[in-house]
Structure 1
Amino acid sequence: MKSWKRKRGLSRAAKYTTTFEPVEREVLADLAATVSEALIRRCQSAPKDELAELTGMPSGHKEPPKEKELARLLPNFERDGDEEYEGDNQLLRSLHETDICAAKLEHLNLIIWALGEQGSETVVITEDEAHGWLQALNDVRIYLASSDVQDGPGPHSAEDRDVLVDWLGFNQDSLLQAMMGDL
């Protein structure tokens, strides 16, 4: 992957561009799809709430995810040691988790679309899309860094995971640097 570059026209908004190797495109798109599928499964497994269906208010899970990758993406709303009133965290989760997942899915879809639909090694995104890319790259890094992998050599080793996490960090940092270039 080449570093992200900022391109600005005379009257147009800034755009950001980079070039991925074909294998990099495939890996990043697969990782974004994996995280998307995990979030979709989480949303689909939410219990049905009759009041939510009557009022149109979204209602999600009351308990945090059991999978540690999703638990890192959807943490509790209160920190350990904070004073908690009975059910506060459950109420906040049930009211907001669906919206949080929807925003994460929207950002992940920016990556999937850009890598799959643009059809070339070069990716060009707008300023608004760049903000979504940063958030999605962060979510993919968190999800991947939290995943269980086998120790020792192999196709899914901790070393391979760490290399991918570092590469995602480079991608994220490069885009952030391009966005801050005029500051």
Structure 2
Amino acid sequence: MTYNNVGKIVNTHGIRGEVKVLATTDFVDKRFAPGETLYVAIKDNEPKKLTIQRHRRQKQFEMLTFEEVSDINEAEKYKGAQLQITSDQQTPLENGEFYYREIIGLKVYSVQKEFLGTITDIMETGANDVWIVARPNGKEVLLPAIKDVILNVNLDQHCVIVDWLEGLDEQ
């Protein structure tokens, strides 16, 4: 079974087993709704199933309690662990939308079929995402993820076709 990260438990909160989570999902309300199932990954062990009992927000964190965790001692062992969902639990995306994990690692080619590099990370900015491309020469290039630049994303062929803007390589 494939698991995907949706948040990280960064700390415990109080004595009743509540945990402070830094969310890494765009679907916070759906993912952390009471009754939803998450899996917690601890080191190399098989992920353990947890059912959300309560969810609330506190500043930039999601505060969760689980039916299976009743006190701080139980919650403490999950500190630093990733919260995950199975592939079956994933929310379907609109046509032309992708999960970050699908984009990272794709090979980038120009319209002229020149290999330009590999996407290593994604930065979120206010206007649009920026894909970080590791060039073959070891340098990194910031590629704006906009329609004028990203012409085609082909997950089957593990590549992206871009209109490489003049000056991108001159950083």
Structure 1 and Structure 2 fold alike (TM over 0.5): no
Give the TM-score band, short-chain normalised. under 0.3
When normalised by structure 1's length, the TM-score is 0.26
Q: Which has the higher helix share?
A: 1
